[in-house]
Amino acid sequence: MFSAIARFLFILFLAFVAANIALKNWGAMVSVSVGIGVVAIPLVYSYINLARLRKFTINDSLEEMPLPSGYWEEVFFRLQRLVRNLKLKIRTIEKQHERFILAFQASPNGIVMLDDLDQIEWCNSIAEQFFGLNFKRDAMQRINFLIRRPEFVQYLSRRQFKDPLLIELMGPASNLSLLLQIFPFADNRRLLMVQDVTDLRKTDAMRRDFVANVSHEMRTPITVMIGFLETMQSLDLNATQRDQYFEMMMSQARRMKCLVEDLLTLANLESNTQPAPMNLLQLPTVMALIKNDAQALSQGRHALNFNLLSPCNLLGDEREIVSAFSNLVSNAIRYTPDIGVITVTWAVNEQGQGEFSVDDTGPGISSEHLPRLTERFYRIDRSRSRDTGGTGLGLAIVKHIANRHQAQLLIESTPGKGSKFMLRFPAERIKIF
């Protein structure tokens, strides 16, 4: 536009000059030429600067443009400052935006931002994993076309987001329990938050199982005792029969007592998250104590070997250590048939770790049971465990005690040949004489 006007003026000027030459009107020609020159020079100068400005704006390099002199210098300077400030602001906003994205990505929860039509505006990678989404592919797709679970589609369409929604997803490797909740925000948009509650649900199920197990374990001896009492009430028993019944009731009462004691021990261990104290425990004394108890329990039915290979002190909680060792030894005695061999050994290995091991020639345990043996109330043979006075809590207690002493519980077993249970204590808890 500007160059068209300049061209038009230039042509007008040439026409004027030609007309004056033809008319030989030299005086008018000179004065008008000077007048035009005075107006044209600044115009040409402005035109040149505008052309430069145009070129630098096209290349987006306004800030690199050298400043002209005069009036245009100020204009260019202000323009450059404006562009620089705007770019700075944009960069700050971009950085802030990036930080928000990173924060949302770092969240352990799935986050999906939905627009007013429930189309995905953005989602983090956790949400992608939960629902098999791919943001690049699924951006601006309606969420109910991608998460097709009927309960979710209903939740979304009901528009009642006060309560969360729990959905169970069946995965190829494991199942997922997800808690979803939608939070409306600006301009009719919605934020879908997804929390993985699989572990929480498992813990909840374990707690329920535990209560059911305890109730079951308690109910059995109580029912048996009530049966005996009713019999004693209704039948006229002689002294020998009464003694027999009393003895049987006593055995049930002892069973309940053992169960309650083990439950209390377990509860105490679970509530105590601190490491065990570093009290000095003399291994020879502990081994002698364990040996006495073992002999009393076995009553000569087994061959018992006790080997104290490295006499030393152990740093820990005496009551807990004795309880863990006794549990392992009593299991070996209870599960090994008569004339079996039980070998109890204490040794310090080459790394300075203390190892308490109990070997038996009992029935052994097949490998599928091994990882679950320390679960509360897990038994391979329920009736065998009960018949021998087991509560199903022994190894759970041993495991907790081991944890409190930073020790490992290692189990090796071959069905039909026997088992080896070992507690390995860290070198820091061993004091050689």
Enumerate binding residues for ligand ADP (CB under 6 A). Answer: 331-332, 335, 360, 362-363, 365, 373, 378-381, 385, 390-396, 419
Query: For residue 130, what are its two tokens?
Result: 């939960």
Nearer to ligand ADP, 49 or 330 (CB): 330
Instruction: Kindly state the smallest distance separating residue 313's Cβ from ligand ADP, in Å.
Output: 27
Contacts of 62 (CB under 8 A, 6+ apart): 53, 56, 79, 80, 83
Task: State the nearest-atom distance from the C-beta of 419 to ligand ADP, in Å.
Answer: 4
Nearer residue to ligand ADP within complex by CB, 316 or 418: 418
Q: Please check whether residue 360 is in contact with residue 431, taking contact to mean a CB–CB distance below 8 angstroms.
A: no
Residue closer to ligand ADP (CB basis): 182 or 395: 395
Instruction: Report, in Å, the least distance between residue 399 CB and ligand ADP.
Output: 9
Among residues 122 and 378, whose Cβ is nearest to ligand ADP?
A: 378
Task: Using DSSP bridges, classify how beta strands 110-114 and 189-196 pair: parallel, antiparallel or unpaired.
Answer: antiparallel
Tokens matching residue 348:
């310090």
Instruction: Tell me whether residue 313 or residue 413 sits nearer to ligand ADP (CB atom).
Output: 413
Q: How far is the CB of 176 from ligand ADP (least distance, A)?
A: 31
Q: How far is the CB of 335 from ligand ADP (least distance, A)?
A: 4
CB of 102 to ligand ADP, least distance (A): 47
**Residue 220 CB, nearest distance to ligand ADP (Å)?**
14
Q: Answer yes or no: are the C-beta atoms of 293 and 344 closer than 8 Å.
A: no
* Phi/psi of residue 341, nearest 5 degrees: -110, 135
Residue number, 118 or 217, with CB nearest to ligand ADP: 217
| Cβ proximity to ligand ADP, 125 vs 408, nearer residue | 408
